[in-house]
Structure 1
């Protein structure tokens, strides 16, 4: 490994240099294109001036001809030519109006170094693992749990929310829920209310999560912040400028992933934070095209066991999955079905111990189960689900589902 170290890093810098060369080529192409545009404008400018000059020269020629006629009359002794002469002073005083042409200008845009850095590429973190741990990464769970032939409905937790939007689990059989009020409620697995927390702003949270230390996190779109509730006190963890936070996910390494949208709902992106420090931005694919729809703030997010980042993009009608480095792996846009006759509307997403991905299809009242490569496995559609949205899976692979129009959370068993 030591012997191959220099070669490996040299290859890394070579790849980066090739990316730089490609950027330089693209910049040269843009500059040449703009120079061509300037040349075309210059030709038009010259044509306008030459046309105006031709009009003036033509008028000058007519005036000279008229002056010659006058001089001939002056020399003549015949009265008739003088009497018949008609002055053209008024005609000649109407000279062509002066042409005012403004030169084109080049307005350079300010260089945003941080944005350029994120667009150029990303260096993944240095990670270390023993051989045993590498085996575990390649095989996320040695115990293979198959899907039940028919998922089982276990119980309903009445949360008291008029409209519930989000649910997240702790490994101790505890779930947190939030809806369209400023209350965030905590329940045990039997449905008993343990705790209620109110948002600091008084507005409803857009999403909730629990960090690696067990503290509650919630996003507040009205203040553009992500907040942490620690020992009963709410503290601001992240404050955004020009963006609004949406859905949250705490990764296996303790990082925070947050979906967010620009203030005017024209752009969306995923940002990774370590504490309050921004580490990674995921917004464009390899062709610099947006990965996510820009006109929507409904983008649920989760991390899979293989560290893939999975986003349920409601308005795009797609589940978008990128690898840890932010490169697009695949998109899932639904599964053909004679019984599911409405467009695929993913409105919640989670993953289980088998690296399967579960996403709520709100308008078709069901859950899609996919493998880690985006292949459809089956539906969960037999548990009287009505407009499902937020999803989470506990450490026993029990599925908790929110029904957006009611304040209920359903607990479902779907694995053997």
Structure 2
């Protein structure tokens, strides 16, 4: 029912947008007609003024022949041009009540049938699989692998942003995109803009979407993380106290919120749940982060951070213990947006080499994908949706490209 409601909302937004466009076209058409008639009246008034001037001039003349000609001209004055009165459009709308909405969304009906008694047979237990659930999970992933041929399947033009420095996808086709000036836009799979928010705060990976579709974003100057309510209003969700929040990530594993923060030269990542602060991701006596602008979480619980100042991807486990850092293939490595896929791969934008690096979950380099040959220039943001499609945003362009990279 929720999916049908979302689909209906998309259709309502689309019809509303189409109606607004149609009204604009009607208005322009009526204005063109009125402007044309206005020109006709102006020409006729100009004609009458010239005739009036000639009449005054001729009346001062004593030549009867000239006066006779003038009188004949007056008798042949052109009539006022015919014009039409525009007919404005009439808005027609049917009344919609609760019953109509129920018909569209459906409702639950209890069956009149008597419950059927089921005959259950004892189930045999596969002790080998029960003893090693991790291997069982690996078997389910055998069918999926990185594609040798990454293909573009569609693209979005995000209206209202200059470029795309961060992306958050709720479900396939519905995404939030933001630029460096803090403009935040939501679009659906048809390219229809659903919402636009002026956060007024510069940021990179500063927003995320929960599993039930609620938007969260960091407000750096106010030192808070806000979240949408049911009526799309923003409410304070987390206070970061003296720390400025730079980036956030919503955990699909347990619903925790990971927040990258900075305060007077120090940086850290903190894990929050609904009850408040849970865990600071730091190493004693060792600087782990400088500017954690982008955060993501891998399938094994690892926290992966793209640190632009350190030119490195820093990875710790779910309890905050350091695992490894990845510093690219050369000194030009400039890590920006970061995400993971269903296979546990780490994907990170390289704004220096204009491509995307693919690592395994232990930090080993696997490949480079989507370089300038595929039309990717200065990639800054990326994410993977629930259907394993890869979304890529770029600096200097409001175009988001979508690729199939898992087969």
TM-score normalised by the shorter chain: which range applies? 0.5 to 0.7
Q: CA deviation at 1:238?
A: 1.3
Distance 1:349 1:145 in 2: 21
Q: How many residues align?
A: 273
Structure of higher CA gyration radius: 1
Map of 1:386 onto structure 2:
377
Q: CA deviation at 1:132?
A: 8.7
What is the SS of the residue equivalent to 1:170? strand
Asked if residue 360 in structure 1 is aligned to residue 346 in structure 2, the reply is: no
Distance 1:365 1:289 in 2: 31
Asked if residue 158 in structure 1 is aligned to residue 157 in structure 2, the reply is: yes
Distance 1:174 1:255 in 2: 22
Q: CA deviation at 1:134?
A: 4.2
Q: CA deviation at 1:401?
A: 1.1
Map of 2:178 onto structure 1:
178
1:375-399 CA distances to partner (integer Å, 9 max, x unpaired)? 1111111422111112110112111
Map of 1:350 onto structure 2:
339
Please report the TM-score for the alignment, with normalisation by the length of structure 1.
0.61
Q: CA deviation at 1:405?
A: 1.7
Contact 1:140/1:353 (8 A) holds in 2? no
Distance 1:369 1:311 in 2: 14
1:173-194 CA distances to partner (integer Å, 9 max, x unpaired)? 3111111345321112343322
- CA separation of 1:271/1:134 partners in 2, compared to 1, >3 Å: closer, same or farther? farther
Map of 2:399 onto structure 1:
408
Map of 2:213 onto structure 1:
214
Distance 2:234 2:317 in 1: 33
Distance 1:134 1:315 in 2: 40
Please report the TM-score for the alignment, with normalisation by the length of structure 2.
0.63
Distance 1:355 1:326 in 2: 18
What is the SS of the residue equivalent to 2:376? coil
1:180-236 CA distances to partner (integer Å, 9 max, x unpaired)? 34532111234332222343xx43555110123321000111211100011211001
Distance 1:137 1:359 in 2: 28
Q: CA deviation at 1:269?
A: 0.5
Contact 1:238/1:276 (8 A) holds in 2? no
Distance 1:140 1:159 in 2: 39
Gaps of 5+ in 1: 1-129, 337-341
Map of 2:259 onto structure 1:
258
- Which deviates further from its counterpart, 310-319 or 149-158? 149-158
Distance 1:331 1:204 in 2: 27
What is the SS of the residue equivalent to 2:374? coil
- CA separation of 1:239/1:324 partners in 2, compared to 1, >3 Å: closer, same or farther? same
Contact 1:218/1:226 (8 A) holds in 2? yes
What is the SS of the residue equivalent to 2:404? strand
Contact 1:237/1:276 (8 A) holds in 2? no
**Equivalences for residues 291-330 of structure 1 within 5 A:** 291-293=288-290, 296=291, 298-330=292-324
